[in-house]
A and B are shown apart, each in its own frame.
Chain A
Amino acid sequence: MPDPIATEEATLQVQAPFESWGRYPTYGAKLLPLHWQSDFPAVTAGLHNGALPVGMGRSYGDVCLLKDGNLLVTTAMNRLISFDTETGLLTAEAGVTLAQILDFAVPRGFFLPVTPGTKYVTLGGAIANDIHGKNHHIAGTFGRHITQFELARSDGSRMLCTPTENPEFFSATIGGLGLTGLINWATLRLRPIVSRKIDYEGIQFHGIDEFLDLTNQAKDIEYTVSWVDVTSTGRNFARGVFMQGDHSARKDDLTRSAKPKLIFPFEAPGFALNSLSVSLFNTAFFHKQIHKRVVALQDYEPFFYPLDKVLHWNRMYGKRGLLQFQCVIPWEHAKEGTIAILQAVAKSGLASFLAVLKAFGDVPSPGMMSFPKPGITLALDFPIKPDKSFPLFQRLADMTLEFGGRLYPAKDAAMTAPQFQAFYPQWQHFARYRDPMLTSSFWERVTQNS
């Protein structure tokens, strides 16, 4: 708990920058670390300007920012509460990271039921963004595997939320962007594994039709995701590598992971990422896999978290930061929509590496505001180029809307209020469950003028 005798002056000094992963936008805010479940709302006594619970700051845009407000940093609230080796149910405080959960669970023969592309996110953040992973077509979103949690509200009340108890707060908090209250702790159902290894297969494809064929053939494979080249046109348009894998069923090593040693040491200069270097990277990545098909037994770290090996890799994008674009296009328009968006991106010449394509399954998302729905999701990074990136982004958002899709708030720094409100028409209903003290720069941005 913060020192109770700290003066107002001392608290104001805690202005260490809290950046989102895209490092755009950047806002000043006061950081209030939470250490114990009883700290909220106690630490906010006498504060103004609103507050927002935050974790590791791995969302890209401004859902984890609050301009001139108070950020309640939960990462020191990272205790485990109980674990049942029969059921795999793990109860832990909300600031525990998925990396910490893996360190605990893997040696005991358990794994996350759903994992995003980085393990450096908190349990609370994973719930608040109702994250998804490579097994969405089988397991649904992260929130599907949360059986209960405690929600602390700014009025001092605490609520147990389950699918049957306070079900509306359960549903509003999953994917609720931290706005419904502070999650003190949550119970997550882990899944058993017998090995760290993944039975991996990588397959080259050319074009969306081949991607869809591979998706169909891989229906029963737990993890599928594709990297797609968004810089090439013509014969190489939408070429990529379809990556699929299952947890190895052969008993093997279950030790915990070593700590990452590489740190991206400095901000790259603005010219480092240009259309030439990016298309060279994409060509190299495509041909790194020389054969049409590659089969391997791979450790889960490089399979799920290839970029976690380099801490602060986002510095590669330089001082201006990066924008992410992630949309889902429902099946009805999935093929034409994805092709149209990929063409617009390729034509712009602005995209960078790391474009990811995946089919979402039809497992319903439990959250009122959850992003995933059945269809194709496409995620890509743009280094920010002030005059060009935002107009392109607006065009892509409008195309997404035309095709009946929506954008992912956790990745967003640019959608307009009308776009958000069209993507998520239920937002006003959701707003009824918001804690009056809690808000974010994202929320202020997408609900303005209404």
Chain B
Amino acid sequence: MSTTAQTPSATPRKILVLGATSGIAEATCRIWASQGASLFLVARNGERLAAVAADLKTRGAGFIDTAVADLDDTDKHPELLAHAINSLTGMDIAYLTHGVLGDQPEAERDFNTAAQIIHTNYMAPVSLLTWLANFCVQRHSGTLAVISSVAGERGRKSNYLYGSSKAGLSAFLGGLRNRVDREGVTVLTIKPGPTKTAMTANMPKNEKFADPESVAESIVSAIDKRKDILYVPFQWQPIMFIIRNIPERIFKKLNL
């Protein structure tokens, strides 16, 4: 009758969560909280962050601390990360989940909107990961789990700003993994398909939309297994294989 989600690991893990009020992050943290993990949560909206923190504390997190921060502000990253790791007294996992879908039609008209999407989804994670990777390399341990997207696999007219920012992030993570794997550091690239969260609240739903809870279970398990790349739900791996291999002269005519 029991599920793995309830089994506490031998030593409670120390986990830094960047973008902790996102739907997928929250669902993942609930699993870790029920295992008694120590969590440091970062998000932009203090009221929401407090609601998430109270929930995780109630569910059994061994330790919770929070910081309200706008992760777009890359200048503040070193200070924020040092503070978080100090509060956690170490770090086993850094989980980067923040990102924006952005307004694609507006980004087609206005470069500033486009640049903002790229900054939030690409520049800010690169800044965070540069610092965090160096921290982990020094200690020859740690996992960097980062949410990218299947949307990064091929540019489509409906969301190519979001998609290209995630494509950049996926490529960055591949390179980073290639660099730090030999140092004992794990990099997990997470590629969720569309998930029922606040980010997609205004999109028409269909059966393809995954529940954040099942996405979160796959993420926790992939981190435990030190996987490199996770498509979640797994069906997206063959789907994206096909989509990547449609010839461009056909692809450009499709409405995707």
Contact = CB atoms under 8 A, between A and B. Distances in A.
B202 interface: yes
B3 A256 contact: yes
Contacts of A16: 204-206
A11 B6 contact: no
Contacts of B55: 79-81
B163 interface: no
A269 interface: no
Nearest to B106: A5
Interface in B228-252: none
B224 to A, nearest CB: 19
B24 to A, nearest CB: 12
Contact of B202 (A11, A82, A258, A299): A11
Interface string A24-41: 000000000101111000
A449 interface: no
Interface string A242-279: 00000000000101111100000000000000000000
B198 interface: yes
A82 B53 CA distance: 11
Nearest to A77: B51
A35 B201 contact: yes
A35 B212 CA distance: 13
B201 A3 contact: yes
Contacts of A107: 6
A437 interface: no
B58 A81 contact: yes
A256 B23 CA distance: 23
Interface in B186-212: 196-199, 201-206
Given A14-B204, A15-B204, A258 B54 contact: no
Contact of B6 (A13, A14, A80, A256): A256
Contacts of B106: 5
Given A81-B55, A256-B6, A10 B202 contact: yes
B48 interface: yes
Given A13-B204, A83-B58, A258-B3, A38 B47 contact: yes
B201 A2 contact: yes
A253 B6 CA distance: 14
A196 B199 CA distance: 38
A80 B1 contact: no
Nearest to A35: B198
A104 interface: yes
A79 B54 contact: yes
Nearest to B200: A3
B175 to A, nearest CB: 31
A5 B201 CA distance: 12
Interface residues of B, number: 26
A1 interface: yes
B59 interface: yes
A256 B34 CA distance: 12
A332 to B, nearest CB: 45
B59 A104 contact: yes
A76 B23 contact: yes
A38 B47 CA distance: 9
Given A38-B47, A104-B59, A14 B1 contact: no
A194 to B, nearest CB: 16
A124 B202 CA distance: 23
A6 interface: yes
A14 B58 contact: no
A81 B201 CA distance: 23
A82 B58 contact: yes
A408 B118 CA distance: 54
Interface string B123-150: 0000000000000000000000000000
A448 B197 CA distance: 38
Nearest to B52: A79
B73 interface: no
Contacts of B101: 3
A14 B101 CA distance: 17
A4 to B, nearest CB: 10
B103 interface: yes
A196 B47 CA distance: 37
B229 to A, nearest CB: 26
Contacts of B6: 107, 255-256
B11 interface: no
A88 to B, nearest CB: 13
26 contacts: A1-B198, A2-B198, A3-B101, A3-B198, A3-B202, A5-B106, A10-B203, A14-B205, A16-B205, A33-B198, A36-B48, A38-B47, A76-B23, A79-B52, A79-B54, A79-B55, A80-B58, A80-B59, A81-B55, A82-B54, A104-B59, A255-B1, A255-B2, A256-B3, A258-B2, A259-B3
Given A16-B204, A33-B198, A76-B196, 10 more contacts: A2-B201, A13-B204, A16-B206, A36-B48, A37-B51, A76-B198, A79-B54, A79-B55, A81-B54, A255-B2
